[in-house]
Structure 1
Amino acid sequence: MTRAYRLRVDGHLDDHWSAWFGDLALTRDLDGTTSLSGAVQDQAALHGLLAKVRDMGLTLISVDAVDL
């Protein structure tokens, strides 16, 4: 079941990371965080995104289910 999520990480990611996160939109927020948002196919895909965040050494601030 496809669901939309927003992941917030500490720091601003450069635009070249957009391709690495697939179809997620990358937004640099004024508070110094980056939001990654978009549709995620299923829970396995969500866990894959969380693994990428971990592997990059990013600090995960939040994960929210959202309406897009």
Structure 2
Amino acid sequence: MSAPLDYEVRIATHLDEHWATSLGCSVLIHEPDGTTTLRCRVQDQSELHGLLGRIRDLGIDLISVRRDARHI
């Protein structure tokens, strides 16, 4: 089994703080430009796709997803 991976997900709106826990992310940052950056640790690609599916289901525009080399 491989080690968990950290991802940085940017979305096109400010989310309430409670969404970090609901989405399984440890960090939620409201950016000055009105976007939100989420930092999430996922176990595998299936969990990442689940996270992205939940964001999609909320009707939120996804800006970017990138693997984050920093530790959360």
On whether the aligned pair clears a TM of 0.5, the verdict is yes
Maintained 8 Å contact 2:24/2:40: no
The offset of 1:18, in angstroms, is: 1.9
The TM-score normalised by the length of structure 1 is: 0.90
Alignment of 1:19-30 (within 5 A): 19-30=21-32
Give the structure 1 partner of residue 66 of structure 2: 64
Q: RMSD of aligned C-alpha atoms? A: 1.1
The TM-score normalised by the length of structure 2 is: 0.86
Percent identity, aligned pairs only, is 44
CA offsets 1:2-61 (integer angstroms, 9 cap, x no match):
111001000100112122112431111111100111321100000000000000000000
Structure 1 residue ranges, 4+ long, deviating more than 3 angstroms after superposition: none
How many aligned positions are there? 68
Deviates more, 1:54-63 or 1:33-42: 33-42
